[in-house]
Amino acid sequence: MASMKTNLPAWLQLSKDDITRSIEWKDLTSELFDAVQHQLTENHVSYFSDLTDSEKVMFLDRAAKLVRDSSSYQKLMATVSGILDRNLNEEVTQTIIDASNTRTKAELLLQESSKASISLLQRWPDLRTKLFACLNRPLPTELRRAVWKWFLANPTVRKEYLEKVSRNKQNTVSRHDAAIGQKCKAFLSSESHYFRLDSCPALLNIMKTSISYRDVNISSTSTIVDTDFLLAIPFVRVMVADNHVQEINAEEIASFVEVYFTFLESRPSLMKDSKSKEFLLAQKHYGSTMADALHSKDQQLASSLQRTFSHDQTAQLAESLAAIMRSYARCMFVGFLSLDVVCYIWDQYIMSMKLPSFNCIRTFSAAMLMLLRDEILVCRNTKEIEDVLLTESKKLTTRDFQRVIDRHFMADWQKLVTEEVHGSDLPLVDPVATVGRFAQPWSGWFRGQPPSRHRVEDRRQTREERELERRRQLMEQRREEARKKREQEEQMRLREEEMRQEFRAEKQREKEGIVALEKELKIERKERASVEKQKDEEIARLQVELARLKRVTPVTSPGLRSSGIPSVKEPDPSPHPT
């Protein structure tokens, strides 16, 4: 399963930690481990790591199905529900007591729940099929914006627009830009309850820029029609108005262009102005589906419509229904129903876009006729029916459609969605009707003690006191930081002084060592000179003595020299006696 790193809301992360520390979690994980181990033993596999990735998924799925009906699973679901209820309620209560808060508790609950859902679905995109739990329910504002972006994502469209703007912005502006701007203003002004053009100029600018760019793209094959303007209005509401966009930049416009263009290109044939074979078949199927729905769900209304159409020489109920409801389907009810109802219908359509057999537009068309049955039953001709649809449709509410869908069409929707997702166990039924299956409905939001309300003067005083306390804490913080800085500077100064003293002492020691060495060297030189002098004197004395000895030494006879006894020299005898 693919995942990406996202930051979870603090209360959701706390809930996760509480759940993983619970006894019920430990019991279920132990049971799941035993189920996996049992499968490994049956299949003669020693270690789970020996399996391939697909085999691991298969083993875990089997184990999960085994434990899903166990009491441990039900207990864990009850624990999860209780922990989420408690932590979410505590988070919302902390927001409510803030004097700057302007939202109700229900709005804050929806906002925090939406943020948590968005974080989880961004981290695990494969779980987006779980959004069918919201089937036939209007999505909260933040979740709706995220879901529309996910299902209508087309990076190629976005990249192409940004590249054209970076090269030459003028190439994205239509020749009819001024006329397009006037038309955009007229269409937005028709929904003045939702759009304040004077306080939010980004609404008009983003819509005009996007449709002008579309005109540039399709100018070679077709032209901009009113339907293009109408279909942009819900996106202006969800992507711009509800998002409180103030600054207009290329990225904001690119986001709008991406979802708007993708939506227009992905429309079924019925919603496009065309006379092609596919369009004619789609229109025929559209009428027959509505006729079958009315025959099975409201026979009286179907018979009344058939009689009324027969007065106008229209033979087939399906063809007549397709003719009078074609305009509603072409623009996806924009301009005919209130914008809140339109966004609710678009939620169902966008979530089911990838399910070929699930076309909710036909269902909502039939539901609209059933909601106006009392007015339609008294009509005498087709013109009166058309007038009733045009004048009364704006009065219909989201809850009206939900009631009809829940009563007549929800079972068929559940079957279709379940078949499309290959029978996976999704909570496709009404969450309100089945909330007690494993856990009680959340009650903390209305059972909790509501925070005390204060007068405006009290809130102002509290705000001023809080501001003073904040300033006091800020001053204390600054003083503490200044004190720590002074201490650090003093410590650094002392350390530097210590280092300087150590350096001076070391230098003095080195100097004294050098002086001592010089003294020793001087003494050694003296001693060496004295020794040398004595040696020279001794050598000179010995040389003198040797010379003297050489001068006074007598000549010795050979005979006596051999005996080693010195002899007395006698005079030589005369050769002749006297």
Please say if the pLDDT value at position 457 is more than 90: no
61-70, 137-146, 388-397: least confident range: 61-70
Contact 217, 164 (CB under 8 A): no
Mean pLDDT of the region 262-272: 88
* Residue in this structure with the two tokens 């019991």, named with its chain if needed: 27
User: What's the pLDDT band for 498 if we cut at 50, 70, 90?
Assistant: very high
For position 242, what pLDDT does the model report? 67
From the list 20, 28, 142, 117, the residue with the least C-alpha distance to 74 is 28
Mean pLDDT of the region 300-322: 83
Please say if the pLDDT value at position 459 is more than 70: no
Contact 362, 348 (CB under 8 A): no
For position 315, what pLDDT does the model report? 59
pLDDT in tens, 350-378: 999 888 788 899 999 999 999 999 999 99
For position 147, what pLDDT does the model report? 95
Q: Which residues of 517-551 are buried (b: 16+ CB within 10 A; e: fewer)?
A: eeeeeeeeeeeeeeeeeeeeeeeeeeeeeeeeeee
Mean pLDDT of the region 517-545: 92
- CA end-to-end span of the chain: 157
Please say if the pLDDT value at position 573 is more than 80: no
Q: How far apart are CA 155 and CA 149, in angstroms?
A: 11
From the list 112, 91, 86, 96, the residue with the least C-alpha distance to 452 is 96
User: What's the pLDDT band for 313 if we cut at 50, 70, 90?
Assistant: low
* Burial group, residue 69, by CB count within 10 angstroms (0-12, 13-18, 19+): exposed
Please say if the pLDDT value at position 2 is more than 50: no
Strand partners, 337: 334
For position 432, what pLDDT does the model report? 39
61-70, 431-440, 460-469, 552-561: least confident range: 431-440
* Burial group, residue 270, by CB count within 10 angstroms (0-12, 13-18, 19+): buried
Please say if the pLDDT value at position 312 is more than 70: no
Mean pLDDT of the region 206-214: 92
From the list 267, 385, 391, 388, the residue with the least C-alpha distance to 320 is 385
* Burial group, residue 86, by CB count within 10 angstroms (0-12, 13-18, 19+): middle
Please say if the pLDDT value at position 212 is more than 90: yes
Tokens of 149: 């972006």
For position 444, what pLDDT does the model report? 59
For position 221, what pLDDT does the model report? 76
User: What's the pLDDT band for 102 if we cut at 50, 70, 90?
Assistant: confident
From the list 182, 174, 274, 175, the residue with the least C-alpha distance to 214 is 174
Mean pLDDT of the region 124-135: 88
For position 211, what pLDDT does the model report? 93
Tokens of 89: 């309620």
How much is the mean pLDDT over the chain?
84
Percent of the chain whose pLDDT exceeds 70: 85
User: What's the pLDDT band for 443 if we cut at 50, 70, 90?
Assistant: low
Contact 544, 534 (CB under 8 A): no
At residue 164, what are phi and psi to the nearest 5 degrees?
Answer: -65, -40
For position 427, what pLDDT does the model report? 44
User: What's the pLDDT band for 259 if we cut at 50, 70, 90?
Assistant: very high
Residue spans of alpha helices (H) in 190-249: 202-218, 226-235
Mean pLDDT of the region 13-28: 92
For position 351, what pLDDT does the model report? 92
Mean pLDDT of the region 193-215: 85
User: What's the pLDDT band for 562 if we cut at 50, 70, 90?
Assistant: very low
Considering only CA atoms, give the Rg of the chain: 50
For position 333, what pLDDT does the model report? 95
Full-model pTM: 0.71
Mean pLDDT of the region 448-463: 62
Higher pLDDT: 28 or 419? It is 28
* DSSP per-residue letters across 327-348: HHHHTTTBTTB-HHHHHHHHHH
Query: Cα angle at 574 between 569 and 575, to 5 degrees?
Result: 135
Mean pLDDT of the region 568-576: 49
For position 560, what pLDDT does the model report? 45
pLDDT in tens, 213-239: 999 988 777 788 999 999 999 999 998
Q: How far apart are CA 439 and CA 447, in angstroms?
A: 17
Please say if the pLDDT value at position 556 is more than 60: no
Q: How far apart are CA 413 and CA 420, in angstroms?
A: 11
